[in-house]
Amino acid sequence: MKRFVLIAAMFVLLMMQLEAKYSDEYLIGTYSFLNNTFPFFAQNRELLSHWMQEMGYNSNIIETRKDDQELATLLRIMDEHGLDAWITDRGYSPDPESEFHYAIAPLSTSSQYIFEAEYLDERDVNPGDGKDSRFWYAFRNDGAIERIGRVHKDPEASNGHIWMASRGRDNAGYALGDLRYRWPNIYGSYVRMGREFNHYQINPPDHEDAYYWITYRFRISNVDPNTKAGDPLLRFEVAGYELSEGSYASRAKVIRAASENNISSQNLYRYQDYQQSKDTNEYVEYVLKIPYKELLDANLLQRPDNRIFVLSNLNPRLWWYGNCDLELDYVKVQDQFAYELVNADAEYKQKIITRAQNLIRQGQGNVSGFYAFDEPLQGQIPSYKILDHILAEKDINLMTATYDYQSSNIVIDANKGIFYDHLDHFINEAQPLIFAPDIYPVRSGYSFMPGVKDREFLQDVWEYKLIRVYEAGIRYRLQDPSRRFYPIVQAFGRWAKGNPDFWITWIRPPYATQKALLYLPLVYQADGIFHYRLQSFQSSDGYGDYVGLNTHLLSPGIYSTPETDPITMNAILHSNPKVKRYGAIIKELTWVDAATIMGESEKRSEIPASSLIEDIYVLEQPNAPYSGYIQCGYYLDEDKVPYLMLVNRRGNYFTPFEVETENLVPPEAYAEHFPQADPQTLMIKFNKSAQKRFGEYIGFCDPMDGSILYYDKMQGAIEIPAGEARLLKMVQTLPSILEGKVNLTGEREITGSVTLAKNANLSLDKNGKITLLPGASLIVPKDATITLAGEIILLGDSQIIIEGYLKEKEHKFINDGKATIIINPQPKRSFWKRLFGIE
């Protein structure tokens, strides 16, 4: 029995360790990059943990490496500051017996792709796939190689189609040529494939036992009867173009590859190989292995750092001799780690899990999960999917950021403005349990003002670059309750030295614009939000990234104490408490839809019937550069009560003065160049269903401060400052002066003062409930009447004063101890006095 209790206790402890605790209510995280092996972080980990706590974060992304001996200490420090951790595990050993060989980051930094042979150009193979970003590649014809054959249906093939070349119909030639993007770039060129493949360096410097694995899947039939055993049917060639300064060489290098037979630049598949197949009517998988060193010697692998290889270009060509029928299904290309992952047995998978669990155990129950290879390109998506599934079996979380790679470069349909969609590709191919897009929309080249020649308006950019992705994120998450949606928000800008100095690529968002970015995921029911990022390193004269905390590099290895950036820091400090409060509420609601609310004269978005709103628009301001762009999320609680999550995207304007464009505004000159916009007013008209449910007096309650917006005549206004957000629950309310006879049957919330007018009669039904929020009061003067049969909840310093006529039935007061209840009613009147109105 004691043994059973001990085992049960250990199991409970392990389960506690697998679940984070500080971000359970609502995750607000940041990229801290804290790791013990970098001296600055080791020296300042307590200070940075303190700052994260002060800034309202409860989660952050850290790193560990093979030589990290103090991960447990770092996790303890975070625990003391109320912080959960996502671990980027960069530990690696080439020894398969070492647990470091199974670290998540190296494994997820591996590349694989199955290139379907049937894709020649943009035309559909399966209906609609001509615009499907998953099929982003094609073995295109070009000036050097023209493919022989055609597309043919085959239900046994992986994509339902094969590439066929037929004896007697087609002349000998290349059945597979070179890989390129299926669609052109903005300049009309079909870009060569290669840079999408990133993977870990294994066994440097010579990289023994590390290969690119190339697998051709095909079927042979109808061989010419005069063919001899040694005659070739197919020839496999692997060739790549060197990349230098953004341009590919004019001629390809043919690479030696190892097959079962030999190592050669031209591997032959002969008739005797076909005859030796176990079943000559089935598909054959023919494998080539290319040592990393071969690719390095050919300058087709590049080293951007001491950990990663990036492929320049590689083409698995195939020459068909014309003496048989060829049905070609696909070509699979894998680096060494991807090959190991795909072929992982139970022992290999268990070692991945064991490594993850060993790291989790070093925490105080505050390890949320693991962070994989950052921003995977096409090649890393299959590895991410495999790892996600392996870890999910033990309820271990995996996440990574995904961005809109190539979205402004590869054109699927120019007429319709459709570009390659990497996020859609990632969602559909990886099926991740956590979707974390990192779309950073405040960039150089965009304008904060509408109508600027040759520059896209920032609000329009947000629509297609940010809003579209957030909506795809929530709709993807709603398909499966086990999924989560963690948008990663821009909270940085990159200031570069030049003539003049400028924001390179990303502009630090001005204060109100920054707040709008931080709030916006709440409109789309994000399960949590990460900020990129907490702290950055700048040169001694202030060049580099501007974030909440900036550290200057004073000399090699010598850093200043982190300094706060007033704009980003203040925006985070202001918004995080509200994000946490609102986020915890919306997690329990049902997301219905979202829309961008514009002015009265502009086209309306469709309003969900469940919102009980007939019309909603922004009051146009004639003297403002523009109006509108209030983002509205429609929600329902379990009782079908409507909520609105509102974010005023109109944050800051741009005033040129001495600079022409936004990317030239220096960090210290934001106040004069980015003035804050005035508040905007959202106009709402309720429909008849709202009146039927909530009565004549309808309002909204903001749970952040308990304030209530009162409306009458079924319409009203909501004022929202620049960049600000409000979560509003539709409630029954009472006017400040209540006249006539009112019967309350549902729930009402009161803020401010409600006083019954002379001869007014307020009746609370037995199923009714009135909540007096802090500071509220309900006053029944001597010449008014109240009937109590329900529940009255008094919060904080609220009060109820009854000096008029009181009719008591089965009612209940609930007082949190600070409220005031004064009951001094008028004596009851006889029937005749009440009939004739005699006091």
Residues 6+ apart with CB under 8 A from 678: 621, 624, 722
Across 421-449, average pLDDT: 97
Of 90-94, 257-261, 774-778, 819-823, the range with the lowest mean pLDDT is 257-261
Most confident of 179-193, 270-284, 698-712, 757-771: 179-193
Tokens 């009714």, residue?
Answer: 768
Distance CA 378, CA 198 (A): 9
Asked if the model's pLDDT at residue 570 lies above 60, the reply is: yes
* Token digits of residue 565: 């950036």
Residue with tokens 């079943």: 279
- In this prediction, residue 743 carries a pLDDT of 84
Q: At 580, list the tokens.
A: 């946490």
Whether 291 and 302 have beta carbons less than 8 Å apart is answered as no
What is the average per-residue pLDDT within 801-809?
90
Q: What are the structure tokens assigned to 446, written together?
A: 């965009």
What is residue 837's predicted lDDT score, i.e. its pLDDT?
A: 58
Q: Buried b vs exposed e over 468-504: b needs ≥16 C-beta within 10 Å?
A: bbbebbbebbeeeeebbbbbbbbbbbbbeeeeebbbb
At 277 the pLDDT is 81
Whole-number Å distance between alpha carbons of 299 and 244: 10
pLDDT at 58 over 50: yes
Contact indicator for 359, 104 with CB cutoff of 8 Å: no
Average pLDDT for 136-158: 95
On whether the CB atoms of residues 58 and 83 are closer than 8 A, the answer is: yes
Amino acid letter, residue 778: L
Q: In what order do the strands lie in the sheet with 777-780?
A: 737-738, 753-756, 777-780, 799-802, 820-823
Spatial distance between the Cα atoms of 661 and 314, rounded to a whole number of angstroms: 42
Q: Report strand pairing: 769-772 vs 791-794.
A: parallel
685 vs 698: CA distance, rounded Å: 10
Higher pLDDT, 261 or 82: 82
Rounded mean pLDDT, 396-415:
96
State the Cα–Cα distance between residues 291 and 297, nearest whole angstrom.
Answer: 10
**pLDDT score at 838:** 57
Quick check: helix, strand or coil at residue 423?
Answer: helix
Tokens read off for 637: 């609680």
Average pLDDT over residues 798-815: 90
Burial class (CB in 10 A: 0-12, 13-18, 19+), 449: middle
Question: pLDDT confidence of 555, banded at 50, 70, 90?
Answer: very high
Q: How far apart are CA 674 and CA 58, in angstroms?
A: 31
Q: Identify the pLDDT of residue 707.
A: 77
Encode pLDDT of 196-249 as tens digits: 999 999 998 899 999 999 999 999 999 999 999 999 999 999 999 999 888 999
Average pLDDT over residues 497-513: 97
CB atoms within 10 A of CB 553: 16
Output the CA angle 246-249-252, nearest 5 degrees. Answer: 135
| pLDDT class of 708 with cuts at 50, 70, 90 | confident
Residue 422: its H or E element: helix 422-430
Task: Enter the tokens of residue 222.
Answer: 């109808």
SS3 label, residue 838: coil
Q: With bands split at pLDDT 50, 70 and 90, how would you rate the model's confidence at 312?
A: very high
Q: What is the pLDDT confidence band of residue 829, given thresholds at 50, 70 and 90?
A: low
Q: How confident is the model at residue 834 (pLDDT cuts 50, 70, 90)?
A: low
Alpha carbon 298 to its chain's center: 38
Q: What is the pLDDT of residues 638-653, one digit of tens each?
A: 999 999 999 999 999 9
Instruction: Classify residue 568 as exposed, middle or buried by CB count within 10 Å of its CB (0-12, 13-18, 19+).
Output: buried
Q: What is the mean pLDDT of residues 661-671?
A: 97
Average the pLDDT over each of 2-16, 616-630, 686-700 and give the range with the smallest value: 2-16
Residue 1 — very low, low, confident or very high, per pLDDT cuts 50/70/90? very low
How many Å apart are CA 829 and CA 815, to the nearest integer? Answer: 30
CA dihedral over 390, 392, 398, 402, signed as positive or negative? positive
- The whole-number pLDDT of residue 255 equals 95
**Residue 540 φ/ψ, nearest 5 degrees:** -60, -25
Three-class SS of 548-605: CEEEEEEECCEECCCEECHHHHHHHHHHHHHHHHHHHHHCCCEEEEEEEECECCCCCC
DSSP annotation of 754 = E
Give the per-residue pLDDT at 20.
Answer: 81
Which tens digits make up the pLDDT trace of 742-770?
888 777 878 778 999 999 999 988 888 88
Residue 751 pLDDT: 76
The number of helices, as runs of H, and strands, as runs of E, in the chain is: 17, 63
Q: Is 261's pLDDT higher than 80?
A: no
Buried b / exposed e along 360-369 (16+ C-beta atoms within 10 A): bebbbbbbbb
Report the pLDDT value the prediction gives residue 11, as an integer from 0 to 100.
47
Bridge partners (DSSP) of residue 88 are: 63
Question: CB count, 10 Å around CB of 562?
Answer: 21
659 token code pair: 């600079």
Asked if the model's pLDDT at residue 184 lies above 80, the reply is yes
Digit-coded pLDDT (tens) for 345-357: 999 999 999 999 9
Taken in order 829, 831, 832, 838, the sign of the CA dihedral is positive
**Stretch among 69-83, 355-369, 620-634, 799-813 having the lowest mean pLDDT:** 799-813
pLDDT of residue 748: 80
In 3D space, the residue among 442, 407, 641 whose CA is nearest the CA of residue 532 turns out to be: 442
CA dist 256 to 211, 340, 727, Å?
12, 22, 63
